[in-house]
Amino acid sequence: MTANLHLWLIPVLPLIGAAINGLFGRRFSRQAVTAIALTFCGAAFAMALWVVSQFSSLTLPYVETVAHWLRAGSFQVDFAFQLDQLSLVMLLIVTGVGFLIHIYSVGYMWEDAGFYRFFSYLNLFMFFMLTLILASNYLLMFVGWEGVGLASYLLIGFWFIKDSAASAGKKAFIVNRIGDFGFLIALFLLIQHFGSLNFQSVFEKVALLDKEASGAGLLTTVAILLMVGAAGKSAQIPLYVWLPDAMEGPTPVSALIHAATMVTAGVYMVARSHVIFERAPIALTVVAIIGTLTALFAATIGVTQTDIKKVLAYSTVSQLGYMFMAAGVAAFSASIFHLMTHAFFKGLLFLGAGSVIHAVGGEQDMRRMGGLRTKIPVTFWTMTIATCAIAGIPGLSGFFSKDEILWRAYQANWIYWMIGVFTAFLTSFYMFRLLFLTFFGSYRGDADKADHGHDPHGHGHGGIHESPKVMLVPLVILAVFSFVGGWIGIPAAWGGSNHFEKFLEPVFHASSPAATPEHAITGEAPIAEQTTETPESQTDHRMERIFTGISVVAGLLGLALAGLLYWQRPELPQKIADSLGGLYHTVVNKYYVDELYAALFVKPLVDGSSRILWRGIDQQIIDGAIDNSADGAREVSDTVRRMQSGSIRSYAGWIALGAAIVIAYMIWVGTR
């Protein structure tokens, strides 16, 4: 073991900030709240950077046990933190993007009455998220997992006066519970079969097992249950429904929790458990299919949404689907790579959307925006970079990460690739649709607001205006990262050396079943890109370049179509929508999934609990039993009470009478 890093400080710092602001923030000025929140979050970020500087001198994975937690026989769980390449990447994303969004929130939330509450929750979220990614066992990870769910609930329902926000928070919480149930069962199975929850000891034992190539066994079960948990947290089919509703929360929350960090926890968990998944091909296939379907499904819904944040929400669901697609074809580092670039550009998109909403006085409907390009230029340019990045325009971060995923997906199965490319086309289309609707054309909102409007609510302070500097700086920084963030993972086919994958390689390949000959079936991938330039890899590179070309064309096609429909000929979309009729309505209404769930699960549950459990069992049987026994006791005592008259003479009379009877009896016995 090398130097002591005191990793535990990283999560605890934001917790201190959350505690101070949460307990005393009400009495502080906004400046003091800001200072506290930013100091502790920034300290965590600085600490993360310091860890990076120490990283090369560590023996990996570096595990630090702070305290013992549970001990039951041979089973033992500690408060222990683990640092390896994977958690380092996550650490930097969470603290870095998190810190930028903290800064942004200062500007965005300045006029909100719950300013201190907001920052307290935000710091609390950082604490749990950092616990999640630094944990060295599943149980501590689960603590962070549940904690970010709590923080997410609190922040979605931040404006809890609004009914829709309160129920959106509830929905997110309940849907996540379903996923957590799967996660928890998986943990129980791990305890039962491996007697431990420590990553290292579980994975060591799993590594000794064979791949479950034929049929499903223990590892497949565990992996699928873990995937259920991941689907809940990372909004995959069938548990994605909470994420679009989560947009009721303040926009920085959407950026931090529901785009950049928390929703990627599921991807992280799957990547972390890659040893289990690699030995369960069926589960991997399930992951890939869920991811692919979700990517396509959410992208089609995103095309029809008109609320700027809803479009981004469905886009997030869709991009998370890409990450799971990559994980499902055992390309974990590609998955984490996309996770990172996505954190940059989607965080930026949400912050930009927040800036737009701020500018137009709380309006979120894109149909009532337009022509904002010249009025809020910084927001426009940064959002353009992010849009290009997500659409896969060559050179930007999203291009490299998405391309990596598509290439790996192709190597596993061309169907994944087909759907992936089509989704990339849709992604590009709806993102440029958003851009054109918002920033191009002419302004379609209230005319007076454009000039001198007085908006009585929301962020209105008259006129369309650029956001303050404190909001723009994070935008610009994130824009830079959205641009260059992909350059650390340029694949060999494009003359790069994919540093990112090499960096993560020790995590993903050290314990993979690579040694076994049947490996060729699983991955078809992991060793595809070795630096040695064999003729085989030459062909591979040529192929990869062709495929990249195809997905770039798909992206540009989306751009062109969006430009045509929403910039050049804005009357066309309505006509197309009319001609599609029922299909369009189905998609606009999100395939009626919410209605389906309401009819299938929510209504039976509500009816069952109100009619059977509440009115039937609780009121009739339980309450009835108690009421009846109380009534019975009263009636009996009412009768018996009359004996206790309180008249001493009557008592004495009874005693005398009783004594007389006893004596008479004794005399009768004696004289017989």
Nearer to another protein, 599 or 667 (CB): 667
The secondary structure of 196-228 as a DSSP string is --BHHHHHHHHHTSPP--SS--HHHHHHHHHHH
* Least distance in angstroms from the C-beta of 653 to another protein: 6
How many residues sit close enough to another protein to count as binding (CB under 8 A)? 8
In sequence order, the 6+-apart residues with CB closer than 8 A to the CB of 365 are 306, 307, 308
User: Token pair for residue 177?
Assistant: 């519970």
In sequence order, the 6+-apart residues with CB closer than 8 A to the CB of 214 are none
Nearer to another protein, 113 or 648 (CB): 648
Q: Specify whether the CB–CB gap between 251 and 353 falls below 8 A.
A: yes
* Least distance in angstroms from the C-beta of 667 to another protein: 12
- Residues 308-367 close enough to bind another protein by CB under 8 A: none
Residue with tokens 């400080």: 9
Nearer to another protein, 35 or 662 (CB): 662
- Residues 639-658 close enough to bind another protein by CB under 8 A: 645-649, 652-653, 656
Nearer to another protein, 530 or 645 (CB): 645
- Residues 216-245 close enough to bind another protein by CB under 8 A: none
The whole-angstrom separation of Cα 238 and Cα 228 is 9
Torsions phi, psi of 526, nearest 5? -45, -35
Nearer to another protein, 362 or 653 (CB): 653
Nearer to another protein, 576 or 659 (CB): 659
Nearer to another protein, 612 or 652 (CB): 652
* Least distance in angstroms from the C-beta of 650 to another protein: 9
* DSSP element (H, E) containing 381: helix 377-391
* Least distance in angstroms from the C-beta of 659 to another protein: 9
* Least distance in angstroms from the C-beta of 636 to another protein: 17
CA distances from 342 to 123, 556, 563, 570, 663 (A): 22, 19, 24, 30, 101
The whole-angstrom separation of Cα 465 and Cα 463 is 6
* Least distance in angstroms from the C-beta of 670 to another protein: 14
Q: Specify whether the CB–CB gap between 483 and 385 falls below 8 A.
A: yes
* Least distance in angstroms from the C-beta of 610 to another protein: 44
Nearer to another protein, 53 or 647 (CB): 647
| DSSP tag of 496 | -
The secondary structure of 284-301 as a DSSP string is HHHHHHHHHHHHHHHHHH
- Residues 31-90 close enough to bind another protein by CB under 8 A: none
* Least distance in angstroms from the C-beta of 638 to another protein: 12
User: Token pair for residue 251?
Assistant: 């926009």
Report if residue 666 touches another protein, rule: CB under 8 A. Answer: no
User: Token pair for residue 198?
Assistant: 């420590």
- Residues 403-432 close enough to bind another protein by CB under 8 A: none
- Residues 549-568 close enough to bind another protein by CB under 8 A: none
Q: Is the peptide bond before 526 cis (omega within 30 degrees of 0)?
A: no
The whole-angstrom separation of Cα 180 and Cα 104 is 31
* Least distance in angstroms from the C-beta of 620 to another protein: 35
> Per-residue contact track with another protein, 486 to 515, x per CB under 8 A?
------------------------------
Nearer to another protein, 75 or 665 (CB): 665
Which residues contact another protein (rule: CB under 8 A)? 645-649, 652-653, 656
